[in-house]
Chains A and B, each alone.
Chain A
Amino acid sequence: MRKGIVQLVAIGVGIGVVLTLVAVLFKWLPTSASEEFDRIQDLYWFATIISIGIFSLVTAVVVYSVWKWRVPDDDDADGPPIHGHTGLEILWTAVPAVLVIAIGVFSAVVLAQNGRAGDRPLEVEALGQQFAWKFTYSDFDDVASGELVLPLGREVRFTMRAVDVIHSFWVPNFGQKMDAVPGITTEILVTPTRLGEFAVVCAELCGLGHATMRAKARVVRPAEFEAWIEERQA
C-alpha cells in the first residue's frame, strides 16, 4: 500500500511538473501595460497554482486506478463494496470551499483596487459606433480622436457610450474591458505603466464589421501627450 501511495504521488507530481512547465514556458498573458493588469496577473497565477494542483490530483487518481486495477473485459468479479467515507466526503466538500473562497476574497480585493479612482483621473469618453471608436478628451475642450493617446503613469477614467448596438472596449495589454451599451454609460479605469503602441479591440459582436473594429492605443510620456493635445486643439 505504501508503495502504491508513492507511485500515486509520483504520477501526480509528474503531471503537475509538466503542467507547470506549460504554464511557465509559454507566455499565456500579454505583457502588462497597466497597474490594473499587474494585479489581475497576480490573481491569475494564484488561480493557476490551485488549478494545477486540483487537475494533477484528479488525473493522477484516474491514471493510477486504471493502471493498477484494470481487468480484462470478460472479468466477472466485483470490487470491494465501499459505499462511502464520511470523513473524506467532508474533506472534499470543505477544502474546495476554502480554496474558492480564497480566490473569491482575492478577486474582490483586486476588483476593489482596480475600481477605485484616485484624485482627478484623466477623463476620456469612448464612443462606440459601427464600426469604429471615437475618443473624446473632455478635460481638453473635447478634443476628439480615432487614435487613443494616453500619458504614461496617469490614471485614466474611460466613460463609455454606444450609438447603435453594444460594443466592448478592450485593450488586451491593459487587461481591462467594458461594454459600451446604448442608453447607459459605463466606466473603467486604466493606469498605463508602459510606453508603446497597443491594440484596441471590440470584444462584443456588433455586426458585419465587428472583426475589423480595431483602433490603436499609444502610451507616451506626459510631455509628448501635452504636445499632442495642443496640436489637436489648434
Chain B
Amino acid sequence: MTATHDQHGGHAAEGYPEHFEPPRGRAWTMAFGPGLVRGAWMALRVVGLGALLVVALRAWWGWSPYWDTHIVLVVGAMTAAPIGFLAGIGSFDYWLHYVSGRPTRPEDHSGHGARTWRDYFKVNTDHKVIGIQYLVTTFFFFTIGGLMAMLFRAELAQPGLQFVDSQTFNGLVSVHATLMIFLFIIPAFAGLANFAVPLMLGAPDMAFPRLNALSFWLLPIAGLMFLASFLVPGGAFASGWTAYAPLSEGQPMGQTFFNMGVQWAGASSIMTALNFLVTIITMRAPGMTFWRMPLLVWANFTTSLLVVIATPFIAGSQFFVMFDRIMHTDFFTPEGGGYVLGYQHIFWFYSHPAVYIMMLPGFGIVSEVISTMARKPIFGYRLMALSLIGILVLGFSVWAHHMFVAGMADWLRVPMMITTLLIAVPTGIKVFSWTATLWRGRIRLNTPMLFALGFVTMFVIGGLSGIYLGSVPIDIHASDTYFIVAHIHYVLFGGSVFTIFAGVYYWFPKMTGRMYDERLGKLHFWLTFVSFNATFFPMHYVGLRGMPRRVFDYAEAFGQLNFFISIASFVLGASFVIFVYNIVTSWTRGPVAESNPWRAHTLEWQVSSPPPIFNFDEIPQVVGGPYEYGVPGARHAVMSPAKEHVAEQEEVHA
C-alpha cells in the first residue's frame, strides 16, 4: 500500500469496520494494486487470452490456418488488451467490487485531488486532475502529429520523392490528420471543459466522476493504436483520415488500427459528452438558470449533443470497413452488391458535425476571453447562445457538401449547398457579436486575448473560403485540392488550435496556481500567427492553380511556393517550442498567481488557484448573468471570498 492508500484504508476502516484489507508489502502493491504496472501485465495476459480464443474457435470450425495474425491482432491486441489495461489501472475496480458483491471502497472521494505528479498517472476521479491529464496527453500527441507534418513538409519541399517512400508518405499524412483530430483538438477541448465547466456551474465535480476517469484513459489507448500502425507489415494506414472505401478495404494491416482506434477515441468522446450533458442539466448551482450560464457551458452543451448523436456514425462506418476487410462482408464492395458512396454518407454524417465538435467549444472559450479582457458584457448573449443551437441543428443537414464531386444524386447538391451557406448566418452573428463586444471596451491585449483576436480574424478567412467551397460550381474545381487543405487549416488551426492556446493561457493560473510568462506568451503568439499564415495562405493558391492534395509529387511549377511553405511550416513548428518552454518553466517555478488575475466574474475565478479539492467550500448562489462587467453593483454569484490556498499548494509543488 502506498502512503495515500494507507491513509484511506485507515480512514475507511474507522467508518466501515467490515471493510478490511490485510496490509500488503510495497512490491505487492506495485505489481497487484491498481496502476500502470498491473495495467501492463493484465493487458499482456488478455492478449494471450484473445489469441487463444481466436485459435480455439478457428480450430473448432476447422478454418485453416488456425493462426491468423490479423485476426489475432484485432481480437487480442485491439479489443481485449485495452480492456485488460483499463481493468489493470483500476478503472473498473469500483464497479467490479459492486457487481461481485465485495465491499466497495466507501465513497470518501479518495481519488480526488493530485498530491504529487505521480497521481496524474493514476486513475483519478477529480475533474480538475482529469482535465490536466487530458491536456498534457493531447499536447503530447499534438507534438507527434506536428513532427509528422514537418516530416512530410520536408518531403514536399521539392517535387519527386526524397526522404520517404510513397506508402510512408500517405501514412504520415493520414496519421497526422487522425492524431490532430481525434487525439488533439476534440479531447483538448474536452480537457479544458472538464476543468472549467463544473467550476463554472458551481458544482463539486462532474456528474459521473468514475465514468469521467474511464473516458480519459480510453484516449491514450486510441493514440497508441494509431501510432502502433507504423510497426506492422505494410506500414501505417495510408488512405487518409477519411479512409474512403474501397481504397481502405484493400490496404495492409495498418488500416485495421485506424478502424479500431477510432472506436476507442469515439467511445471516449461519447462518454465525456454524456457526462457533460448530465452535469450541465442537473448540477447547476442554485440560481444558475440556462440563461445565466457562461457561453463556454452553452458551447459544451451543444457540442455534447453533437457528439452523442453523431459519433456512433463514424463507429459504424469503420466497423463496416473492418468487417469487409476481415469477415469478407460486402458493405462497400460493388462486386458483392455493396454501395461505395454509402461509406461517404455515413462517414460524413459524423465527420461534418465533427467540424462543429471541433469549433463550438472554441467559440465558448473566445466568448469568455473577449468579454473578460475587453471588460464588457458579451454583446447579444442570448443570440450568442441561440446561434450555437442554430449551428447544431443546421450542422446535421450539410454533410453531403463533402460529396459534391463524389457522384452522389444530383438533386441533393443544391439543398445541401443552401443549408451549408446558411451556416454562415449563425456563425456571422457570433463573429459580429465578438467585434461588437470589443467596441468601446477597455481592451487588455494579453496572450489569451491575442489568441482570441487572432482566432476571430483567421476564422473569418476559414469561414469565407468555406463559402467558396459551399458553392457547388466552385467546389467542383477546388475540391480535393490544396485549397481544401488551406481551408481546413484556417478553420482547425487558425480556428480551433488558436482557441485552445487562448484557453490554456487563460486558465493556466487557475489550473496550476502559477502565472505564465507574458513576454514569451506574446512571442509565441506573433511567431505562430505569422508562420501560420505563411504556411497555409499560399496553399489556397497552389490548390486553385491545380495541385491536388495528398500527393508526394507535383508539377514543377509549384516547386518554389512549396519550398516556401515548407520553410514556413518549420518556423511554425519552432514557435511551439516557445509554448512548451513557457508552460513547463512557469508550471514548475512561475510566480504564484492570484485567485482571479483577470478579474473575471464567472465562478471558477471566485475560488482559490488552484481550486480546493471539492471546488467550493460553500455552494454559491447565482444571482445574475456571467458577464456583467461595468454594471454597477452587479454580481454573478454570492459566496464568501476565495480563501487563499497558496501556502498549501507551495508544499505540493516543492
Contacts and interface: CB of A to CB of B under 8 A. Distances in A.
Interface string A152-178: 000000001000111010101101111
A180 to B, nearest CB: 8
A76 B424 CA distance: 36
B477 interface: yes
A134 B421 CA distance: 37
B141 interface: no
Contacts of B96: none
A28 B166 contact: no
Contacts of A59: 457, 460
A58 B457 contact: yes
A205 interface: yes
A59 B380 CA distance: 20
A177 B479 contact: yes
Which of A28, A65, A199 has the most chain B CB within a 10 Å cutoff?
A: A65
A78 B442 contact: yes
A183 B405 contact: no
Given A55-B464, A81-B631, A207-B247, A75 B474 contact: no
Contacts of B457: 55, 58-59, 62
Interface in A26-48: 26-30, 37, 39-40, 43-44, 47
Contacts of A208: 166-167, 170
Which of B440, B473, B555 has the most chain A CB within a 10 Å cutoff?
A: B473
A81 B407 contact: no
Nearest to A115: B410
Interface in B336-389: 338-341, 374-377, 379-383
Interface in A103-120: 103-104, 106-108, 110-111, 114-115
Contact of A75 (B382, B442, B481): B442
B428 A96 contact: yes
A43 B340 contact: no
Contacts of B167: 208
Contacts of B473: 39-40, 43, 107, 110-111, 114
Nearest to A70: B443
Interface residues of A toward B: which range?
35 or more
A231 interface: no
B456 to A, nearest CB: 6
B472 A107 contact: yes
A165 B422 contact: no
B456 A88 contact: no
Contacts of A51: 464, 467-468
Contact of A80 (B380, B406, B630): B630
Contact of B407 (A50, A88, A186): A186
A166 B471 contact: no
Interface in B423-469: 424-425, 428-429, 431-433, 435-436, 438-446, 453, 456-457, 460-461, 464, 467-468
Interface string A51-76: 10011001101100110011111011
B405 A179 contact: yes
Interface string B36-66: 0000000000000000000000000000000
A101 to B, nearest CB: 7
A215 interface: no
B438 A65 contact: yes
A26 B247 CA distance: 37
Which of B338, B421, B471, B546 has the most chain A CB within a 10 Å cutoff?
A: B471
B92 interface: no
Interface residues of B, number: 89
B544 interface: yes
Contacts of B468: 44, 47, 51
Given A43-B471, A79-B629, A208-B170, A177 B546 contact: no
A54 B549 CA distance: 28
A103 B467 contact: yes
Interface string B375-418: 11101111100000000000000000000011100100110011
B24 interface: no
B443 A66 contact: yes
A47 B470 CA distance: 11
B250 interface: yes
Contacts of B334: 182-184
Interface in A173-204: 173, 175-184, 186, 199, 201-204
B550 interface: yes
A11 to B, nearest CB: 13
B443 to A, nearest CB: 5
A28 B482 CA distance: 13
A205 to B, nearest CB: 4
B442 A71 contact: yes
A44 B546 contact: no
A44 B470 CA distance: 12
Nearest to A110: B473
Give the 8 A-B residue pairs with the shortest CB-CB distance, closest first. A183-B334, A172-B546, A211-B551, A186-B407, A78-B630, A203-B480, A100-B421, A81-B630
Given A37-B477, A40-B473, A69-B438, 14 more contacts: A40-B474, A44-B468, A54-B464, A55-B457, A69-B443, A77-B375, A79-B441, A96-B428, A100-B424, A111-B413, A177-B476, A177-B479, A179-B407, A211-B551
